[in-house]
Amino acid sequence: MREVQLQILYAEDKMTQSMTDSWQITVSKKRKQVLNNIPTEWILDSKTIARLKSDKTGLSHNIDQLCSLKENAITHSTLLELQEGIRNNSLSCFEVTSAFCHRAALIHQVVNCLSEIMFTEALEHSKILDQNKYEYSTLPPLYGIPISLKDQCNVEGVDTTLGYLSRAFKPKKKEDESLIVSFLRDLGAIIYVKTTVPPSMMATETTSNTFGYTYNSFNQHFSAGGSSGGEGSLIGCYGSVLGLGTDIGGSIRIPASYHGIFGFKPSTGKVPYLKVDNSWEGREIITSVIGPLARNIDDLRYFMSLIVNNCKPWIHDVKCMPYQFSSFEDSKLPDGLKVGIWYGDGVVNLPSGDMRALSKCKEIIQNNQKFNASIVRWEPPTDLCEEIFNLAMEADLADGGTEINNEFKMTGEPLLDILRPVVPNDSPKPYTVNEWWNLCKRVSDAKQKFRDFHNNLPVEVRPDVVICPSTLMPYRPGDMLETTLRYILFANLLNLPSLSFPADAMIVDDNHSMPDIINGPEDAMVQKMWNDLVLSGDIEGFPSGLQIISPLSDNDDLVLRFGSWLTKLLQES
């Protein structure tokens, strides 16, 4: 049964056809290890899997049919509702945990989003929490709430692979546990799954030799995005109420955008990265940050306030700084907020989906005068946008693929095409330290130029927050190299807080059209892909994700407060 199921799950993955090399044997073992942690009663038969895979846009609804009413009530709740349910004893921790484990198991069998399954430990933990519940006068804030983790967070007893086969079967010890995982445990959360990533996380499509391909659970025609693709797919289908991703080049925001959920990339030093495994450790020029993905904006804000205000990471993690988030219940905005709208950088024009979504946001804000928010057009200079993008790309190529190549060589697993942008075929020589310092200097200079641009704007058109493009459109499995990260890397290189949020749903018969002018090959590529997608009809109803950024770092709280306010307006509209 399990063998059959394994073959079904990975059927589209050609490597499983003849797993005879030593690395393939390890892959096979690892995949079995994952599946063996699913209880037999939750294993789907091949017919059901085939049916769920073929109904590309109906997965969540189809999985609802396989779960009990109570399970669906739980998994469709917000974190804050679950907390309330556990506190008022209408829900047990075990019921909550079991519902999410069950649903995660089902989702995984269709879209392949889990890299570690810890159901046994999680259910055991939930029982203990139920037993101990009456010892508390106030329950810890995440008491009995299951939280999912990207496969970078270290958890005792399981691997952290980063998508590399070389790191499989090296379970972490207690002392390796990530600080954020300790925080989650202290807050009462239950750890039940880790989710898939591409090797090194330096790709925005989630696939690996070790775990295979992760599909988009909202619409299986498309990629889940990445690198926190497993998280996006799991949360997008109600298999987790909130999970942790990381973002060095869109890895939180892209999967969030592609699943119609919220993803927050904080600025550096807010959420502790201590003992979270990573690629390119010590490369501080563009810093990977850890942040939440969630279906609900209040959940996300509540989680940020817990991790930052309650846990005070700056005491423990030398890279964190004191910060304070406002309460999720505080939906007030500063009076007279100026909201920038970014209609494109002059290099890659926006598809009609984005133009439509931006217009919608603009209208809604203009029609709501509660806080006297005003709209301004925001246009950072094209040459500066180009410089920022080029510097980010140069930084990603600085070691000529050395580190990633070395990890692949350890086991002999073949390099994946999605990594070609950071591991080029011609393997350029790694930068010398002097070349690297020069690049770091140019990055600092670009950040300063951006600050100067901001400061030099007349105060009446200098925005506090900016609504801007994000992923532009979904892409089909294998098409990652046809996408642009232009509007994504911008916030990484400049270390700007960014909330990825669902602004609209795409429609095929869109009246808005792409501009006539094609700026260059990248613009042409994007326009072609958009036109093909519209033609296919597959994007109908797909979420139009945008970002809210602040032009100043450390305005994380403002970005979330504005995001919360705008989301409520969008939901009411």
Instruction: Give the 3-state secondary structure of residue 526.
Output: helix
Residues in the chain, overall count: 573
Residues near a copy of itself (CB under 8 A) are: 274, 280-284, 315-319, 321-322, 398-399, 402-403, 430-444, 447-448, 450-451, 455, 554
**305 belongs to an annotated ligand binding site:** no
Q: Is 304 annotated as a binding residue?
A: no
Distance of CA 114 to the CA centre of its chain: 14
CB of 234 closer than 8 Å to CB of 196: no
Nearer to a copy of itself, 249 or 263 (CB): 249
- CB of residue 285 to a copy of itself, shortest distance in Å: 8
Q: Is 248 annotated as a binding residue?
A: yes
Which is nearest to 33 in space by CA: 96, 124, 120?
A: 120
Other Cβ atoms within 10 Å of 29 Cβ, number: 12
User: Is there a catalytic annotation at residue 227?
Assistant: yes
Q: What is the DSSP string of 14-67?
A: GGGGG--SHHHHHHHHHHHHHHTTS-GGGPPPHHHHHHHHHSTT-HHHHHHTTS
Neighbours of 323 (CB within 10 A): 19
Instruction: Name the minimum Å distance from CB 437 to a copy of itself.
Output: 4
461's tokens = 């058109």
Residue whose CB is less far from a copy of itself, 182 or 402: 402
Q: Is 251 known to be catalytic?
A: yes
The answer to whether 85 is annotated as binding is no
Smallest distance, a copy of itself to C-beta of residue 403, A: 6
The catalytic residue among 30, 150, 172, 265 is 150
Q: Which two tokens stand for residue 85?
A: 């349910």
Please report how close the Cβ of residue 334 comes to a copy of itself at its closest, in angstroms.
17
**Cβ-Cβ contacts under 8 Å for 353 (sequence gap 6 or more):** 472, 473, 504, 506, 510, 512, 530, 539, 544
Closest to a copy of itself by CB, 78 or 553? 553
Tokens of 153: 């967070």
- Annotated binding-site residue? 249: yes
Q: Which residue carries 């399981």 as its tokens? A: 158
CA–CA distance, 173 with 33 (Å, rounded to integer):
18
- Active-site residue, selected from the candidate residues 115, 178, 223, 227: 227
Task: Find the shortest distance in angstroms from Cβ 428 to a copy of itself.
Answer: 11
**Between residues 154 and 219, which has the closer beta carbon with respect to a copy of itself?**
154
How far apart are alpha carbons 69 and 88 in whole angstroms? 20
Asked whether residue 145 is marked as a ligand-binding residue, the answer is no
Would residue 30 show up in a list of annotated catalytic residues for this protein?
no
Toward a copy of itself, which CB reaches closer, 175 or 335? Answer: 175
- What residues form the annotated binding site? 201, 227, 248-251
Known binding-site residues for substrate equal 201, 227, 248-251
Which of the residues are catalytic? Answer: 150, 227, 251
